[in-house]
DNA sequence: CTAAATGATACCATGTTAGTATCATTTTGT
DNA sequence: ACAAAATGATACTAACATGGTATCATTTAG
């Protein structure tokens, strides 16, 4: 049972590293050295972060990535969502169809409660906070 | 992002159904009819539950399955653990090796806290409670 | 002895995760 | 103009996990 996959994890680490450089443009080679993440994979992850507007990218010599928002406004649940889709702890299906029990299922109710909690907890963690740690 | 997979879900539903039969032995055909779960898959799930001691099985004509514990003592986190391994929200690895940051990583600390909460919440739900719902 | 059940096990199909490879495009410095 | 250094886009592959099947062996009630 896991919740956070590799690309999300890498993304968070990269964002933290970039954030610490406050305003400087950071290129992939530097990130690879610092974080020991496989280069092509890291590139893919960064492209994802760029598309979703977490970072801004600059091409050409001297190019690289910069945060597009203040670190305190980058919520890790959104980063996770970018790579893993929305949080949905229990997708109960009955042979590809949505489960007919859904309305009454008591387990679902409790899991939904858990999901809300998890989501609000994860929703309160920002890159900015991680840096302080 | 999901946390509960199909076999766990099926297991829980089967346990609930068996629990409601209080002491009677329930065979696969009856479960298949009631729960609309593919038969061979359900068999595999039940065999898992038997091995882990959640249910007792009886072979031969008139055989089937019975709860091996009181419904109030079957915790769904244990059921989930049977099929999905222990709860481990974030397994941060660096190229197959455990991450060297682990000791200081602030994100890990927060996720660990979340994990404890989740685990204690899930750990408080039993089959017995689900039946009341 | 047979029918009806589970036990054990091997297998298969699909989807997800993790990672690679390639080529196109942009930008800067000379 | 041009080469080098960066990202963009995209397609591909390998390994693993999930969901599900199939088969045969074993037990047991009648
Ligand atoms: S059994 Fe389907 S939602 Fe709970
Ligand atoms: S970066 Fe590895 S445990 Fe957080």
Provide the chain B residues 48-87 that lie in CB contact (below 8 A) with chain A: 76, 80-81, 84-87
Residue A87 contacts residue A81 (beta carbons within 8 Å): yes
**Model pLDDT for residues A19-73, shown as the tens digit of each residue:** 999 889 999 999 999 998 999 999 999 999 999 999 999 999 999 999 999 999 9
Q: Is A93 on the interface with B (CB under 8 A)?
A: yes
Residue B59 has pLDDT above 60, yes or no: yes
- How large is the average pLDDT for residues B25-39? 94
Q: What total of structural domains would you count in chain A? A: 1
What does the pLDDT read at residue A133? 64
Residue A91 has pLDDT above 90, yes or no: no
CA distance A65 to A47: 10
Q: Rounded to the nearest whole angstrom, what is the distance from the C-alpha of residue A122 to the centroid of ligand 1? A: 25
Task: Choose the weakest-confidence range: A58-62, A69-73, B38-42, B95-99.
Answer: B95-99
Residue B129 contacts residue B72 (beta carbons within 8 Å): yes
DSSP A95-119: TTEEPTTTTT-HHHHHHHHHHHHHH
A68 located within any domain: yes
CA distance B65 to B46: 8
B1 located within any domain: no
- How large is the average pLDDT for residues B62-69? 96
Q: What's A94's DSSP letter?
A: E
What does the pLDDT read at residue A123? 86
What does the pLDDT read at residue B3? 79
CATH code of the domain in which B56 resides:
1.10.10.10
B92 located within any domain: yes
**Model pLDDT for residues B5-30, shown as the tens digit of each residue:** 889 999 999 999 999 998 899 999 99
Query: What sign does the CA torsion over B91, B93, B98, B101 have?
Result: negative
B126 located within any domain: yes
Q: How confident is the model at residue A95 (pLDDT cuts 50, 70, 90)?
A: very low
Q: Is the CB of B13 under 6 A from ligand 1?
A: yes
B29 located within any domain: yes
Name the token pair of A104.
Answer: 């009454």
Domain enclosing residue B103, as ranges: 6-132
B32 located within any domain: yes
Name the token pair of B25.
Answer: 């032995």
At A126 the three-state DSSP class reads strand
> Smallest CA–C1' separation from B65: which nucleotide?
C6
Task: Choose the weakest-confidence range: A44-48, A118-122, B48-52.
Answer: A118-122
How far is the alpha carbon of B62 from chain A, nearest alpha carbon, in Å? 28
What is the rounded radius of gyration, in angstroms, for the C-alpha atoms of chain B? 18
What does the pLDDT read at residue A87? 82
Vertex A63 angle, CA A126 and A46, to 5°: 40
β-pair type (A64-67, A93-94): unpaired
């Amino acid at each position: 049972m896991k919740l956070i996959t590799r690309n999300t994890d890498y993304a968070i680490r990269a964002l933290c590293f970039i954030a610490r450089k406050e305003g400087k443009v950071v290129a992939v080679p530097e990130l690879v050295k610092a974080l020991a993440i496989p280069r092509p994979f890291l590139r893919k992850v960064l492209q994802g972060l760029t598309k979703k507007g977490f970072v801004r990218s600059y091409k050409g010599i001297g190019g690289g990535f910069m945060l597009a928002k203040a670190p305190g406004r980058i919520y890790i649940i959104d980063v996770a969502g970018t790579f893993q889709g929305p949080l949905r702890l229990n997708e109960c299906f009955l042979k590809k169809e949505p489960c007919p029990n859904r309305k009454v299922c008591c387990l679902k109710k409790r899991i939904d409660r858990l999901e809300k909690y998890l989501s609000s907890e994860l929703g309160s963690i920002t890159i900015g906070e991680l840096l302080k740690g």
